[in-house]
A = this chain, B = another copy of it.
Amino acid sequence: MKKPHVVVLGAGFGGLECCRHLSEEDVNITLVDRQNHHLFQPLLYQVATCGLSMPDIAKPIRSIFTRKKNLSILMQEVESIDLDQKKVTLSTQELNYDYLVIALGAVTGYFGNDQWAEFAPGLKSLDDAARIRREILYAFERAEVVDDPTEHQRLLNIVVVGGGPTGVELAGAFAELTNHVMAEDFQKINPREARVILIEAAPKILGMFPEPLPQQAYDQLRALGVEIRLNTPVKDIRKYTVELEDETIEAANIIWAAGVQAEPITRDLSIEKDRGGRIIVEKDCSVPKYPEVFAIGDIASMTDARNTKVPGVSPGAIQMGSHVAGIINRETGDEHPFPSGTRSHFVYWDKGSMATIGRSAAVASVAGLKMSGFIAWVLWLAVHLLFLVGFKNKTSVLLQWFYAYVRYRRGARIITGLEKLAHSN
């Protein structure tokens, strides 16, 4: 008898975890991703800010599943999903499925202002990180030779839009980069001229953290020299320009960390979605009316069995991936054939949140405990090293962090892909 075919779209945290837990005997699995690597997204900001190099936080998908014989990996773009025909169309082939797990994640979202994307890139892929790193390092190089004071200042300004964890981590890392790298490496640039400006529409940064952590994060960022604008929505973004309510900031580098939306493939699906395009799933993570289709991770809008809205973070995706694998295993296994309808409901386990701000500065909220400063930073380091298991070389990453900590150095300060520079003069 032919084994049921499970197609998993996306090799992010959710898709990987699902594949890991799917049975080796009872199903055939096809995992599809447009990239050949799984990306450790929580550390992507470190690549953008020259702290780590790309292979440190990316792992070839094939090397993760070397020993899983019932799993095929296809590096293909997902073109469309036909829920009624149970068919997925990829760049060069079609797949029929018995079960489908949609785990395609999120992309940078501009709340209807897609024209800003060109001037304020987001940070969702290695190529995004490489672009940001290249543009910022190159702006410093330009500032070193430009005499016009307005142009000089513009080249040294970095604006980060969005005071969530990504924005806070980026702003802190940029401040350290400019404070130390510029002071040591450049002759004409005065490091005090370089400005890092963090813009947040809400009254506080890190709004999802319990008090007093948002305030402590604010203080730690200020101590690094980051200028923070609260209650400040962005009016418009043009080339090198951010327009606020009563201020216009010129900056060669504007980074968008203010929002994400579901991978656009959901637009073509006639199922219920939230404003960000996320598929509103049932309590078992399945798509309404299509019990053989699941959506997990950032592409899903899930309110769990305890009525908790699952946040768009990696633990949420991982837990949903494992939950869905459990359901599929039970329904396809010989020994315990559960009819559908008796599926278990997903319960999100909140492991806490943390954000790093700089060298020995961070905030963390774990199991009711709130920490900030050095102790939160050590915890952040420990957790991230733990989760980097299987990535290129944990020891290598640890060494680089240690080196950066002691010496204030950024080893990955390399500009590549010059032909892709936005401002080429």
- Taking A395-B399, A399-B396, A400-B393 as contacts, is the C-beta distance between A414 and B63 under 8 angstroms? no
Which chain B residue has the least Cβ–Cβ distance from A74? B145
Closest CB in chain B relative to A364 CB, distance in Å = 28
A414 to B38, CA, bound (A): 9
Residue A359 CB within 8 A of the other chain: no
Interface bracket on A: 35 or more
Using Cβ atoms and an 8 Å threshold, which residues of chain B touch A56?
53
Residues of the B chain whose Cβ atoms lie less than 8 Å from the Cβ of A34: 418
A126 contacts the other chain (CB 8 A):
yes
Residue of B35, B92, B411 touching A145 (CB-CB under 8 A): B92
Interface residues of A in 366-417 (CB under 8 A from B): 392-393, 395-396, 399-400, 403, 409, 411-417
Does A252 sit at the interface, judged by CB under 8 A? no
- Asked whether A63 lies within 8 Å of B416 as measured between CB atoms, the reply is no
B185 touches A63 (CB 8 A): yes
By a CB distance below 8 angstroms, the chain B residues around A58 are 414
Query: Which residues of B sit under 8 angstroms from A35, Cβ to Cβ?
Result: 415, 418
User: Taking the complex as formed, is A245 at the interface, i.e. its CB lies under 8 A from any CB of chain B?
Assistant: no
- B-facing residues in A33-88 (Cβ within 8 Å): 34-37, 53-56, 58, 60, 62-63, 66, 72-76
Q: Are B415 and A392 in contact (CB under 8 A)?
A: no
A37 engages B411 (CB within 8 Å)? no
Chain B proximity of A221: nearest CB distance (Å): 26
Which residue of B60, B137, B396 is within 8 Å of A400 (Cβ)?
B396
**Interface membership of A16, Cβ < 8 A:** no
A144 touches B (CB below 8 Å): yes
Tell whether A270 is near chain B: CB-to-CB under 8 Å: no
Q: By the criterion CB–CB under 8 Å, are A126 and B414 in contact? A: yes
Please name all residues of chain B whose beta carbon is closer than 8 Å to the beta carbon of A211 when the two chains form the complex: none
Q: Mark A130-145, 1 if CB is under 8 A from B, else 0.
A: 1000000110010011
Question: Most B CB atoms within 10 A — which of A396, A409, A415?
Answer: A396
Known: A185-B60, A185-B66. A392 touches B411 (CB 8 A): yes
Nearest CB of chain B from residue A190's CB, rounded to whole Å: 15
Q: Is A425 on the interface with B (CB-CB < 8 A)?
A: yes
Instruction: Tell me, yes or no, whether A342 is within 8 Å of chain B by CB.
Output: no
The answer for the CA separation of A138 and B36 in the assembled complex, in Å, is 8
Is A98 close to B, CB under 8 A? no
Closest residue of chain B to A64 (Cβ to Cβ) is B185
CB of A290 within 8 Å of the partner chain: no
A144 surroundings in chain B (CB, below 8 A): 73-75
Closest to A61 in B: B185
Contact assessment for A393 and B414 in the assembled complex, using a CB-CB cutoff below 8 Å: no
* Assembly CA distance A405 to B56 (angstroms): 18
Interface centre among A66, A144, A411 (most CB of B within 10 A): A411
Cβ–Cβ < 8 Å partners of A418 in chain B: 34-35, 127
Going nearest first, the 7 A-B pairs with the smallest beta carbon separation are A62-B185, A392-B411, A75-B141, A55-B412, A396-B396, A60-B413, A53-B55
Knowing that A36-B414, A53-B392, A60-B185 touch, tell me 20 more A-B residue pairs with CB under 8 angstroms.
Answer: A35-B415, A36-B415, A37-B415, A53-B54, A60-B414, A62-B185, A63-B185, A66-B184, A72-B187, A74-B145, A75-B141, A75-B144, A76-B145, A91-B425, A93-B145, A130-B416, A392-B400, A393-B396, A396-B396, A396-B400
Can you list 13 A-B contacts (CB < 8 A)? A35-B415, A36-B414, A37-B414, A37-B415, A58-B414, A66-B185, A72-B187, A74-B144, A92-B145, A93-B145, A127-B416, A127-B418, A396-B400
